[in-house]
Amino acid sequence: MSLITKLFGGGKSKQKTPTPAEAIQRLRAIEDMLIKKQDYLEKKVQQELQTAKKNGTKNKRIALQALKRKKRFEKQLTQIDGTLTTIEFQREALENANTNTEVLKVMGVAAKALKNTHEMDIDDVQNLMDEVQEQQEVANEISDAISNPVGFGHDIDDDDLLQELEDLEQEEVDQQLLNVAEPSMEKLPNPPQAEPSRPRKAKVHHEEDDDDIKELAAWAS
Protein backbone atom coordinates (compact mmCIF):
# COMPACT_ATOMS: atom_id res chain seq x y z
CA MET A 1 0.00 0.00 0.00
CA SER A 2 1.43 3.39 -1.02
CA LEU A 3 1.93 6.32 1.30
CA ILE A 4 -0.82 8.31 -0.40
CA THR A 5 -3.20 5.41 0.13
CA LYS A 6 -2.29 5.23 3.81
CA LEU A 7 -2.83 8.93 4.30
CA PHE A 8 -6.03 9.40 2.31
CA GLY A 9 -7.52 5.93 2.38
CA GLY A 10 -7.50 3.01 -0.03
CA GLY A 11 -11.12 3.00 -1.22
CA LYS A 12 -14.36 4.90 -1.06
CA SER A 13 -16.29 2.04 0.53
CA LYS A 14 -13.77 1.27 3.24
CA GLN A 15 -13.12 4.72 4.70
CA LYS A 16 -15.32 7.75 5.05
CA THR A 17 -14.40 11.09 3.59
CA PRO A 18 -12.09 12.99 5.97
CA THR A 19 -13.16 16.30 7.39
CA PRO A 20 -11.45 19.48 6.18
CA ALA A 21 -9.39 19.62 9.36
CA GLU A 22 -8.26 16.01 8.93
CA ALA A 23 -7.36 16.62 5.28
CA ILE A 24 -5.35 19.69 6.19
CA GLN A 25 -3.48 17.74 8.83
CA ARG A 26 -2.63 14.99 6.36
CA LEU A 27 -1.41 17.48 3.77
CA ARG A 28 0.86 19.02 6.37
CA ALA A 29 2.23 15.56 7.17
CA ILE A 30 3.07 14.97 3.50
CA GLU A 31 4.73 18.39 3.28
CA ASP A 32 6.94 17.57 6.26
CA MET A 33 7.90 14.21 4.73
CA LEU A 34 8.79 15.76 1.37
CA ILE A 35 10.85 18.49 3.00
CA LYS A 36 12.85 15.89 4.89
CA LYS A 37 13.39 14.00 1.63
CA GLN A 38 14.59 17.23 0.03
CA ASP A 39 17.23 17.63 2.73
CA TYR A 40 18.37 14.03 2.20
CA LEU A 41 18.63 14.42 -1.60
CA GLU A 42 20.53 17.70 -1.31
CA LYS A 43 23.08 16.00 0.89
CA LYS A 44 23.36 13.11 -1.61
CA VAL A 45 23.92 15.60 -4.45
CA GLN A 46 26.80 17.17 -2.53
CA GLN A 47 28.30 13.75 -1.78
CA GLU A 48 28.19 12.63 -5.41
CA LEU A 49 29.67 15.94 -6.50
CA GLN A 50 32.59 15.48 -4.10
CA THR A 51 33.09 11.92 -5.36
CA ALA A 52 33.19 13.11 -8.97
CA LYS A 53 35.72 15.81 -8.14
CA LYS A 54 37.87 13.39 -6.16
CA ASN A 55 38.01 10.77 -8.93
CA GLY A 56 37.95 13.08 -11.92
CA THR A 57 41.63 12.50 -12.76
CA LYS A 58 42.12 9.14 -11.07
CA ASN A 59 39.12 7.06 -12.09
CA LYS A 60 36.85 8.56 -14.71
CA ARG A 61 34.36 5.67 -14.55
CA ILE A 62 33.64 6.26 -10.86
CA ALA A 63 33.48 10.00 -11.49
CA LEU A 64 30.96 9.57 -14.32
CA GLN A 65 28.76 7.25 -12.25
CA ALA A 66 28.79 9.82 -9.41
CA LEU A 67 27.70 12.53 -11.82
CA LYS A 68 24.88 10.32 -13.15
CA ARG A 69 23.60 9.71 -9.62
CA LYS A 70 23.86 13.46 -8.91
CA LYS A 71 21.73 14.19 -11.98
CA ARG A 72 19.15 11.65 -10.84
CA PHE A 73 18.98 13.16 -7.35
CA GLU A 74 18.63 16.65 -8.81
CA LYS A 75 15.74 15.44 -10.97
CA GLN A 76 13.99 14.08 -7.87
CA LEU A 77 14.53 17.41 -6.13
CA THR A 78 12.84 19.20 -9.02
CA GLN A 79 9.88 16.81 -8.86
CA ILE A 80 9.58 17.31 -5.08
CA ASP A 81 9.61 21.08 -5.54
CA GLY A 82 6.66 20.82 -7.93
CA THR A 83 4.81 18.44 -5.63
CA LEU A 84 5.31 20.72 -2.65
CA THR A 85 3.96 23.66 -4.63
CA THR A 86 0.85 21.69 -5.59
CA ILE A 87 0.28 20.45 -2.04
CA GLU A 88 0.78 23.92 -0.60
CA PHE A 89 -1.76 25.38 -3.02
CA GLN A 90 -4.27 22.62 -2.21
CA ARG A 91 -3.74 23.03 1.54
CA GLU A 92 -4.26 26.79 1.38
CA ALA A 93 -7.44 26.35 -0.67
CA LEU A 94 -8.71 23.77 1.80
CA GLU A 95 -7.87 26.03 4.76
CA ASN A 96 -9.74 28.92 3.16
CA ALA A 97 -12.73 26.70 2.43
CA ASN A 98 -12.68 25.40 5.99
CA THR A 99 -12.51 28.94 7.35
CA ASN A 100 -15.45 29.99 5.19
CA THR A 101 -17.43 26.97 6.37
CA GLU A 102 -16.81 27.80 10.02
CA VAL A 103 -17.74 31.43 9.42
CA LEU A 104 -20.99 30.38 7.75
CA LYS A 105 -21.77 28.06 10.66
CA VAL A 106 -21.25 30.84 13.18
CA MET A 107 -23.33 33.22 11.12
CA GLY A 108 -26.12 30.63 11.00
CA VAL A 109 -26.05 30.22 14.77
CA ALA A 110 -26.09 34.00 15.21
CA ALA A 111 -29.06 34.31 12.85
CA LYS A 112 -31.00 31.70 14.85
CA ALA A 113 -30.15 33.45 18.11
CA LEU A 114 -31.27 36.78 16.67
CA LYS A 115 -34.49 35.21 15.49
CA ASN A 116 -35.15 33.83 18.97
CA THR A 117 -34.73 37.28 20.48
CA HIS A 118 -37.43 38.61 18.14
CA GLU A 119 -40.00 35.95 18.92
CA MET A 120 -41.75 38.25 21.43
CA ASP A 121 -44.77 40.01 19.92
CA ILE A 122 -44.66 43.80 19.60
CA ASP A 123 -47.80 44.08 21.74
CA ASP A 124 -46.08 42.09 24.47
CA VAL A 125 -43.12 44.42 24.29
CA GLN A 126 -45.39 47.49 24.57
CA ASN A 127 -47.22 45.98 27.52
CA LEU A 128 -43.92 45.24 29.19
CA MET A 129 -42.72 48.81 28.67
CA ASP A 130 -46.00 50.19 30.08
CA GLU A 131 -45.58 48.01 33.14
CA VAL A 132 -42.02 49.19 33.59
CA GLN A 133 -43.17 52.83 33.33
CA GLU A 134 -45.93 52.22 35.87
CA GLN A 135 -43.54 50.62 38.32
CA GLN A 136 -41.12 53.52 37.86
CA GLU A 137 -43.84 56.02 38.73
CA VAL A 138 -44.73 54.04 41.84
CA ALA A 139 -41.06 54.00 42.84
CA ASN A 140 -40.83 57.78 42.38
CA GLU A 141 -43.91 58.34 44.54
CA ILE A 142 -42.47 56.13 47.26
CA SER A 143 -39.16 58.02 47.13
CA ASP A 144 -40.96 61.37 47.42
CA ALA A 145 -43.00 60.14 50.37
CA ILE A 146 -39.95 58.84 52.19
CA SER A 147 -37.87 61.96 51.57
CA ASN A 148 -40.60 64.32 52.93
CA PRO A 149 -40.18 64.65 56.75
CA VAL A 150 -43.35 63.85 58.69
CA GLY A 151 -45.08 66.92 60.22
CA PHE A 152 -42.57 69.45 58.88
CA GLY A 153 -43.55 72.44 56.80
CA HIS A 154 -47.30 71.82 56.67
CA ASP A 155 -48.18 74.74 59.05
CA ILE A 156 -45.84 77.28 57.43
CA ASP A 157 -47.32 79.91 55.12
CA ASP A 158 -45.29 80.71 52.04
CA ASP A 159 -46.50 84.36 52.08
CA ASP A 160 -45.11 84.82 55.59
CA LEU A 161 -41.77 83.44 54.46
CA LEU A 162 -41.65 85.82 51.48
CA GLN A 163 -42.48 88.82 53.70
CA GLU A 164 -39.75 87.86 56.15
CA LEU A 165 -37.27 87.54 53.31
CA GLU A 166 -38.20 91.02 51.99
CA ASP A 167 -37.74 92.52 55.48
CA LEU A 168 -34.30 90.98 55.73
CA GLU A 169 -33.33 92.34 52.33
CA GLN A 170 -34.60 95.86 53.22
CA GLU A 171 -32.69 95.76 56.48
CA GLU A 172 -29.52 94.88 54.59
CA VAL A 173 -30.07 97.79 52.14
CA ASP A 174 -30.62 100.27 55.00
CA GLN A 175 -27.46 99.13 56.71
CA GLN A 176 -25.46 99.67 53.52
CA LEU A 177 -26.88 103.22 53.16
CA LEU A 178 -25.87 104.09 56.74
CA ASN A 179 -22.37 102.85 56.13
CA VAL A 180 -22.09 105.13 53.08
CA ALA A 181 -23.54 108.25 54.87
CA GLU A 182 -21.36 108.11 58.00
CA PRO A 183 -17.67 108.69 57.35
CA SER A 184 -15.46 106.13 58.73
CA MET A 185 -13.57 107.15 61.82
CA GLU A 186 -10.56 105.28 60.63
CA LYS A 187 -10.15 107.68 57.69
CA LEU A 188 -10.13 110.97 59.77
CA PRO A 189 -6.72 112.42 60.58
CA ASN A 190 -5.60 112.29 64.20
CA PRO A 191 -5.85 115.69 66.06
CA PRO A 192 -2.56 117.31 67.03
CA GLN A 193 -1.42 116.44 70.51
CA ALA A 194 0.15 119.79 71.38
CA GLU A 195 0.74 123.20 69.75
CA PRO A 196 4.11 123.28 68.10
CA SER A 197 6.60 125.50 69.81
CA ARG A 198 7.60 128.66 68.03
CA PRO A 199 11.15 129.98 68.04
CA ARG A 200 11.67 132.84 70.46
CA LYS A 201 12.69 136.17 68.97
CA ALA A 202 15.52 138.06 70.43
CA LYS A 203 14.32 140.96 72.69
CA VAL A 204 14.87 144.39 71.22
CA HIS A 205 16.37 146.81 73.59
CA HIS A 206 13.61 149.40 73.21
CA GLU A 207 14.79 151.36 76.28
CA GLU A 208 18.25 152.02 74.85
CA ASP A 209 16.73 153.22 71.56
CA ASP A 210 14.43 155.66 73.38
CA ASP A 211 17.36 157.24 75.27
CA ASP A 212 19.28 157.76 72.03
CA ILE A 213 16.31 159.43 70.38
CA LYS A 214 15.79 161.80 73.33
CA GLU A 215 19.47 162.77 73.34
CA LEU A 216 19.37 163.45 69.58
CA ALA A 217 16.29 165.62 69.92
CA ALA A 218 17.90 167.68 72.71
CA TRP A 219 21.02 168.26 70.68
CA ALA A 220 19.02 169.42 67.68
CA SER A 221 17.16 172.08 69.69
User: Structural domain boundaries of the chain?
Assistant: 20-117
The topology (CATH level 3) of 20-117 is Helix Hairpins (1.10.287)
Indicate if the pLDDT at residue 39 is higher than 70.
Answer: yes
What Rg do the C-alpha atoms of the chain give, in angstroms?
62
pLDDT for the residue 113? 82
Question: CB of 18 within 8 A of CB of 26?
Answer: yes
% of the chain residues with pLDDT over 70: 69
**pTM for this structure?**
0.43
Question: Between 218 and 133, where is the model more confident?
Answer: 133
Q: List alpha helices for the chain, DSSP H.
A: 3-8, 20-54, 60-117, 122-147, 158-181, 206-220
Instruction: Say how far apart CA 191 and CA 182 lie, in whole Å.
Output: 19
pLDDT for the residue 202? 47
Render pLDDT for 61-72 as a digit per residue (tens, 0 to 9): 898 999 999 999
pLDDT band at 196 (very low <50, low <70, confident <90, very high): low
